[in-house]
Amino acid sequence: MTICNFNLPLDLPLELAIDAVSDYSPTPAPFASKQPVADPGRAALDVHLAKLSDADLPGVEQLKEYLAHQYRRNFRPCTLRNTCISVTQFLRFLQAAGRSKLSELCREDLEGFVEHEQDRGLKISSVYHRLGSVQPFIRYGINQGLIAEEVLKRPIRIKVPQRLPRAMEPYDVKCLLAVLDGVRNRAMILVLLRTGMRIGELLDTRLSDVHLEEKKILIFEGEKNRRGRAVCVSADACEALAAWLEMRTPQYDYLFYGWRGRRMSYNNARVRFKRCLNSAGLAHKGYSLHCLRHTFATELLNAGMHLECVQQLLGHSNLEMTLRYARLSDRSREEQYFKAMAIIEQEESDGLKQRDHQLPPLSEAPELLQPHS
């Protein structure tokens, strides 16, 4: 267990204390540079190659080549990290199964790996993403002539439940907005709620990306699909942003910065959001920062905005992703349902009354059977 001594002044304001503690990261290695990294992808690749240099696993050299291949194709650093973690886990499984070379890989090994990950208790979505990193690596080995084509003749497909996105209840949104404390917290949460930005996109936003006069924020590279877009900012979010811009430290580059002007960490933003939920009495609801994005999309669809417009604002490359929100809540569909059910219930009620009127009273009903003598 590591005990961290932050040596913070006793009179440090609460906002700065949260920044210092939430944005804490362990002391970097001596060789780490404090200067901004010019190429994050190259830096990530070097880190993973260094970790794999001492690994004694079958196919580790092919994994190094594959990571370099992904870097040349301009894959994101997080993709390189996920590939390294997933494929390394797969190679360890092969080693435990008695495989000494990648050429010995067979389809049963891939199926066994999926079962192994499920037996470890991983969520099915985690197994799905892990397999999504392993199978392209195997395809790369097939193209290099190192693995038999029969291994991926029929790719393994995992059925993942299509869960509904979780949006906040309208009353809960009102409760949250009523307790937002601090200029920065109010601006950050309102921007997320009114623009539908992913939290990573907001934390990457720089001051030059904000255009309050035009009521929009430019996202030059989407967090997932790397597609840039412009998001609109509502009047109340613009007002909150203007208040934050007046009091923020002007020399810092990021719109919402953390300790000493660094990029605010996700943990810092999460801690702030949890504090607001606690103040609103919503801690037990289990809401996350991403729920604000779901709430944004749901409210727009309920207000009658076309699905294609919502898709562009959310930055979805596939309309099917946006359709999830239509399945979650569609007031026009609900109105049509209740209107139809009212007609059905009225018809059934009228039918029962008509049948009751046609039936004679019990005392006047004719005797169908004669009494036994």
pLDDT reported for residue 259: 87
Long-range contacts for 72-80 (Cβ within 8 Å, ≥24 apart)? 74/41, 75/41, 76/41, 76/226, 77/40, 77/41, 77/43, 77/44, 80/41, 80/44, 80/45, 80/48
**247/184 Cα distance (integer angstroms):** 9
- State whether 285 and 316 are in the same domain: yes
Region of poorest pLDDT, from 99-108, 294-303, 362-371: 362-371
- State whether 129 and 179 are in the same domain: no
pLDDT reported for residue 43: 93
Cβ atoms 212, 241 nearer than 8 A: yes
pLDDT reported for residue 304: 83
| Residue 341 belongs to a domain | no
Confidence of residue 33 (pLDDT cuts 50, 70, 90): very low
- State whether 140 and 50 are in the same domain: yes
Cβ atoms 165, 185 nearer than 8 A: no
| Residue 292 belongs to a domain | yes
Q: Where are the beta strands (DSSP E) in 144-298?
A: 210-211, 216-219, 229-232
- pTM of the predicted model, to two decimals? 0.73
If one counts every other C-beta atom within 10 angstroms of the C-beta of residue 332, the result is 11
| Residue 140 belongs to a domain | yes
Q: How many domains does the chain have?
A: 2
pLDDT, the chain, mean: 85
- State whether 71 and 188 are in the same domain: no
pLDDT digits (tens, 9 = 90+) for 102-152: 999 999 999 999 999 999 999 999 999 999 999 999 999 999 999 999 999
| Residue 160 belongs to a domain | no
Show which of 103, 125, 152 is a domain's final residue.
Answer: 152
- State whether 106 and 215 are in the same domain: no
- State whether 213 and 104 are in the same domain: no
Instruction: Return the DSSP state at 265.
Output: P
- State whether 135 and 209 are in the same domain: no
- State whether 179 and 320 are in the same domain: yes
pLDDT reported for residue 29: 39
Side-chain-facing half-sphere of 222: CA atoms under 13 Å: 16
| Residue 21 belongs to a domain | no
* CATH classification of the domain holding 251: 1.10.443.10
* CATH classification of the domain holding 117: 1.10.150
pLDDT digits (tens, 9 = 90+) for 151-160: 998 889 999 8
Cβ atoms 193, 295 nearer than 8 A: yes
Domain that holds residue 264: 170-328
DSSP 297-329: HHHHHHTT--HHHHHHHHT-SSHHHHHHHHHH-
Q: Is the pLDDT of residue 340 over 80?
A: yes
pLDDT digits (tens, 9 = 90+) for 50-91: 999 989 999 999 999 999 999 999 998 999 999 999 999 999
Show which of 108, 124, 152 is a domain's final residue.
Answer: 152
If one counts every other C-beta atom within 10 angstroms of the C-beta of residue 279, the result is 15
| Residue 369 belongs to a domain | no
- State whether 193 and 135 are in the same domain: no
Q: Is the pLDDT of residue 257 over 70?
A: yes
Higher pLDDT, 25 or 146: 146
Higher pLDDT, 268 or 222: 268
- State whether 176 and 296 are in the same domain: yes
Output the six-digit token pair for 206: 């720089």
> How much of the chain exceeds pLDDT 90, in percent?
62
| Residue 340 belongs to a domain | no
| Residue 71 belongs to a domain | yes
- State whether 106 and 139 are in the same domain: yes
Q: Report the alpha-carbon angle 99-89-41, nearest 5.
A: 125
- State whether 99 and 67 are in the same domain: yes
Show which of 101, 120, 152 is a domain's final residue.
Answer: 152
Instruction: Return the DSSP state at 362.
Output: G
pLDDT digits (tens, 9 = 90+) for 315-328: 888 888 888 887 77
